[in-house]
Structure 1
Amino acid sequence: MSGEDRPRGISPTAVEGAPGLWRVDLQRHDLSIPGREVVQTRVEFTPDSPPFTHFHPGEEIICVLQGSLEYTIEGQPTVVCHAGDALTVPYGVHHRARNVGDDIAVELATYVVEKGKPLLTRVE
């Protein structure tokens, strides 16, 4: 991914073990709910980024900002979301996303999670 593919001033970090997947943590704050925090992240998917199944210790609220992403969420039909579409992944539910377009796809992921737990756990 070249620097021209992302907004100025944003330096994504590669997701370990997931080539073509880049994350930019935008904010992390404690919530008024004891033991919970909100984490907001911009996630960029290259067209060749392989999907991987994972889950979070809380809800994930997603808004697709650019491109088209296919979401497979355990117990739900697979859905393709385009720029402007939103969806929610329930607490602890296994899911994966993949870019179904020819260019970079971007989502804004907002996590409302248990504080002190890993934000993402891969399922092998």
Structure 2
Amino acid sequence: MRRHLIRLSAAALLCLTGLAQAAQPSPAPAAKNWQQGLSRTDLVRQDLGAADREVIQARVDFEPGVTSPRHAHPGVEVAYVVSGTFEYQLEGRAPVTLKAGDSLFIPAGVAHIAKNVGTDKGSELATYIVEKGQPLLILKQ
């Protein structure tokens, strides 16, 4: 009888402990900054035969909630969303939301940001036609 009472008391204590832990809010996941949650894989870099132009194609992967820094490119970009949902904000324009299968043309020199607004990792295929010898990405304030 005593063993049964001890087991019953232990079970009740475990239940109460579990309820107490469940009642406490779990900490929110730490927000990732773009340096931790964004990666670029260059796929193609090819001279276009013009004296000052090349094409660069890259896959850019964003963890959920990650926003790129505000930046521009020394040429045009065509962004194609491979997976996920993104919000793009181009300077002087209203934000646009794109999902897998959507594309966006970004003119040369236009400052912009991209944010993964989905709950899963998102990826875009970025194709740049840019000036040779220039940095691909120029950070803007």
- Residue 104, structure 1, aligned to residue 126, structure 2: no
Is 1:89 paired with 2:103? no
After TM superposition, the structure 1 stretch with the greater mean CA deviation from structure 2, 99-108 or 28-37, is 28-37
Q: Could you say what the CA RMSD is over the residues aligned between the two structures, in angstroms?
A: 1.1
C-alpha deviation, 1:77, in angstroms: 1.3
Q: Which runs of 4+ in 1 moved over 4 A?
A: none
Percent sequence identity is 49
Counterpart of 2:39, as a letter, is W
**Which structure features the higher share of helix residues?**
2
Q: TM-score, normalised by structure 2?
A: 0.74
> Counterparts of 1:46 and 1:122 in 2: how far apart (Å)?
20
> Greater Rg, structure 1 or structure 2?
2
Higher strand residue share = 1
Please say if residues 84 and 99 of structure 2, whose CA atoms lie closer than 8 Å, have aligned partners that are also in contact: yes
- Letter matched to residue 84 of structure 2: G
CA distance in 1, matches of 2:50, 2:63: 35
**Which ranges of structure 1 fall in alignment gaps of 5 or more residues?**
1-16
Deviations 1:46-101, CA, capped at 9 Å, x for gaps = 01323310000000011000000000001221000000000110000000000000
Query: How big is the shift at 1:111?
Result: 0.2
TM-score, L = length of structure 1: 0.83
Mapped contact 2:87–2:114 kept (Cα < 8 A) = yes
Give the number of aligned pairs.
108
Residue of structure 1 in register with 2:22 after alignment: none
